[in-house]
Amino acid sequence: MKALKFLKVDWLRCKSQLRVMAILPLIAIALVFGGMDNELFINAYVVFGAIIFSTQPFTMESASESGFINMLPGTKRDRVTGRYLFALALTLFSVLVGVIAVSIYDIYKDTSLEPVMSVSCILFGCAMVICSLQYVLFYSIGKGKSNQMMAIIRMIPSFVMFFLGTYLSDWIKSGDGTNLEWVLEREVELSLLCVLVGLFVFFVGISVSSRIIEHKDFA
Are 44 and 169 a contacting pair, CB within 8 Å? yes
Q: Residue 204 domain-assigned?
A: yes
Range of the domain at 135: 2-212
Q: Is 128 part of any domain?
A: yes
- Report yes or no: 73 and 2 within 8 Å, Cβ to Cβ: yes
pLDDT at position 204 is 96
Q: Do residues 95 and 24 make contact, with C-beta atoms less than 8 angstroms apart?
A: no
Confidence of residue 120 (pLDDT cuts 50, 70, 90): confident
For 78-106, how does the pLDDT look when each residue is reduced to its tens digit (9 = 90+)?
889 999 999 999 999 888 888 888 887 77
Could you report the per-residue pLDDT of 172-219, keeping only the tens digit for each? 666 555 666 666 677 778 888 989 999 999 999 999 999 998 866 544
- What is the C-alpha to C-alpha distance for residues 41 and 95, in angstroms, rounded to an integer? 12
Does any domain span residue 219? no
Residue 217 lies in a domain: no
Mean pLDDT of 21-32: 75
14 within domain boundaries: yes
For the chain, the domain total comes to: 1
With respect to residue 73, please indicate whether it lies within any of the assigned structural domains: yes
Indicate the pLDDT class of residue 68, thresholds 50, 70 and 90: low
Whether residue 218 lies inside any domain: the answer is: no
Specify the length of the chain in residues.
219
pLDDT (0 to 100) of residue 34:
65
